[in-house]
Amino acid sequence: MSFASPLFLWFFMPATLVAYWLLPRFRNGIVAVASLVFYAWGAGAYTLLLLSAIAVNYAAGRVLDRIEHRRTAVLVAAVAWNLAILAVWKYAGFATQQIRALGVEGVPLVELALPIGISFFTFHHISYVVDVYRRSTPAQTSVVGFVTYIAMFPQLVAGPIVRYHEISGQLAKPVEGGLAAGFPRFALGLAKKVVIADSLAPIADAAFAPGAEMSTVTAWVGALAYTLQIYFDFSGYSDMAIGLGLMIGFRLPENFDRPYSAHSITDFWRRWHMSLSRWFRDYVYIPLGGNRHGPWRTYRNLLTIFVLCGLWHGADWTFLVWGLYHGVLLVAERLLRVPPGRLVTFLLVVFGWVPFRAESLPAAWNMLGAMVTWRPGPLDEFVAHAANPQRLAVFALALVVVLLPGRPLGPIVATGPRPLRAAVTWLAAPYAALLVAAGTFSPFLYYQF
């Protein structure tokens, strides 16, 4: 079930909010049940996998909270369980493909459908058991409260990644905000998704399609279209998740801070998918030693983090190359000690999105080659057909929006002037809803991760 679907907008969300407002004392139970229904609607039998992971990690947290000895063994077992789930369901197919490609006989090809949101709820579980192990927060004693944290439908399938210590107090006491702050934020995200991202999707899809005539113009139009699409799609989802959270009494962490305004790749990763960056920093980078043991260990740790970040996004060489690319850029920035500046940073990010989106590495090299060397020729006919005047207008507007300086719009809409909130609520939201009713929405890009 997508946030940008008629079923969610006109049935699921209103029913959940009404139940919460009528019975606020049972908020966690209402959210827990609604969240499991939300997940089961799209994941079906994989809901059992989610429930088994919840049961194991809830039990591990209770054990870690009670014992003083062998706590490390319990933590290792819990983390290994979570990583095993991820390894089997997300990476086993890729691993067996590579083994068979090497000519090893007798290895069966594993073909498993990817459970929705597995990367996100796995990281939530790991952060929970680590937080309890570190004594940074006590374990959740309520089963309902724990299910609410893990399965909370606003962030279950595409984040933001919420670490347990950030939200444990909110499970007991709702935060202020409610409908007045939450709905405008949700409406902004809906508009970013269906008005902007979905308008750019056909252009990007046509440019990255197999067989596209890859002139330099086609390559740059496609790369820029995807650069804008993925930002407005994912930041739109995050705005909707944060707005939904406020409407049910939870303040979820911010996930974007105008990332295309970054002046370096380091700065970009402080602004893009911030909850994922913080997760890797606190649970992998710092435990590996961070930057405390000299430059070469720091470079190794950075490359390790971004190889893992790439693989977290998907089991494919394209994601591995994308992660390694960003890791190398971060190492280069530390070696040179000179930030590349805003324009160069933006271009480096655009180049990086090409392997991230491409169907294969050869397809990525073909597009990148057209971007850095002149290949004459008109815009590919299918890209030209997709780039109608309305979509080109959205393309130009989106590019201007991401390049202009300023504060992130999401927090401003939630707490800013009433006229701004009213404009988003009564203008942007109805227009986006009409597009949803017309069936023009598409699934969020990060559902596949």
Q: Give the residue numbers marked as catalytic.
A: 313
Rounded to whole angstroms, how far apart are CA atoms 249 and 423? 24
Asked if 405 contacts 261 with a C-beta cutoff of 8 angstroms, the reply is yes
Which tokens in the block code for residue 305? 């983090």
CA distances from 152 to 35, 39, 58 (A): 5, 10, 15
Element (H, E) at 156: none
Q: Residue written as tokens 């002139």?
A: 215
CA gap 224, 254 in Å, rounded: 25
Instruction: Give the separation between CA 379 and CA 443, rounded to whole angstroms.
Output: 27
CB of 408 within 8 A of CB of 258?
Answer: yes
179 sits in which H/E element: helix 178-191
- The DSSP 8-state label assigned to residue 29 in this structure reads H
Rounded Cα gap, residues 309 and 286, in angstroms: 15
Round to whole Å and give the CA distance between 269 and 302.
12
* Residue 395: C-alpha distances to residues 24, 196, 199, 219 (Å): 43, 8, 8, 15
Residues 136 and 64: their CA atoms lie apart, in Å, by 12
Q: For residues 322, 404, 233 and 345, what is the CA-based torsion angle, rounded to 10 degrees?
A: 0
N- to C-terminal Cα separation, the chain: 16
Q: What is the spatial distance between Cα 277 and Cα 305, in angstroms, rounded to a whole number?
A: 9
Lookup result for tokens 């939870």:
250
CA dist 195 and 202 (Å) reads 13
Instruction: Report the C-alpha gap between 128 and 62 in whole angstroms.
Output: 11
The span from the CA of 36 to the CA of 144, in Å, is 11
Structure-token pair, residue 190: 């809906």
CA distances from 411 to 133, 181, 289 (A): 33, 9, 34
In the block, residue with structure tokens 């700065």: 267
DSSP helix/strand/coil, 104: coil
